[in-house]
Amino acid sequence: MTGRQTIHIVDRDARQRAGLAHQLFSLGHHAEVYETLAELLSRPPSSGLVLARDDQARSNGIRGAASILAQMAEVGVWLPLVATSLERDVDAVRAAMKAGALDFFLLPLTTGQLEEALGSVEVEAERATERQRRIVEARDALGRLSKRENEVLKFLAEGFSNKEIARELEISPRTVEIHRANMMLKLSARHPSDAVRTRFEARLDNDGAAGATLFRRGRRTPPGPSPAH
């Protein structure tokens, strides 16, 4: 990263926290360390990048990055998140990226690897806060829709006409029109494309894994099958 950054480290392992903080200080950055996410959110930061353990996060039955981001959103913290873990878990990577994490780092990293990893997300981090806010707000908006309204929106996003949606759902075209009107009202959408855009921003159909990079042993490796034990 080209400038001095504030990195918020969330990790229950004191040795991992201290090690990452030391590496970040050596790279010219400022590090804040927290044992738990609750500790970080008790005094919500307004800037920086959150580096949090994906495999330690759980709240209200939600695990991993989705839990971290949900808790951050509850208190209005829109900082970009990089999930971390000591284990290579492809499903966890996919889930983290789909939830809206900026990237996924496999620990431990050498100082050189950490510098490379942070450099790889620098440009994206500048846009991540606003994007994450839109994702959360879009999902909140979709959460206000009924099951049928969500189904109508899904087919609408796939280019189906009202008559085609009616056939798929085995209801009348008039009923589709009613659900569509209610859906657009709840989403404050003036045009169907506005509703489709909201669904797109919620990233419901994107597993996100394509953008993730695992940093390990001095090289970048795309997510792949977990190594055999």
Tens-digit pLDDT profile for residues 58-92: 766 678 899 999 899 888 888 889 999 999 889 99
Mean pLDDT of the 118-136 span: 75
Q: What is the pLDDT of residue 210?
A: 38
Q: Is residue 163 over pLDDT 90?
A: yes
User: How far is Cα 41 from Cα 72, in angstroms, rounded to an integer?
Assistant: 7
Specify the pLDDT at position 171.
Answer: 96
* Residue 151 predicted with pLDDT over 50: yes
Element (H, E) at 106: strand 103-106
Contact 71, 41 (CB under 8 A): yes
Q: What is the mean pLDDT of residues 169-188?
A: 96
- State the chain's mean pLDDT as an integer: 84
**Least confident among 89-93, 164-168, 176-180, 221-225:** 221-225
Residues 223 and 75: their CA atoms lie apart, in Å, by 32
pLDDT exceeds 50 at position 218: no
The more confidently predicted of residues 83 and 133 is: 83
Sign of CA dihedral 193, 195, 197, 199: negative
CB atoms within 10 A of CB 226: 11
pLDDT band at residue 104 under the 50/70/90 scheme = very high
Q: How confident is the model at residue 129 (pLDDT cuts 50, 70, 90)?
A: low
Q: What is the pLDDT of residues 8-65, one digit of tens each?
A: 999 999 999 999 999 999 999 999 999 999 999 999 998 899 999 998 777 666 788 9
Global pTM? 0.61
What are the tokens at 27?
A: 């790279």
Q: Which residue has the higher pLDDT, 6 or 63?
A: 6
Distances 42 to 36, 50, 75, 168, 213 between C-alpha atoms, Å: 10, 15, 9, 48, 31
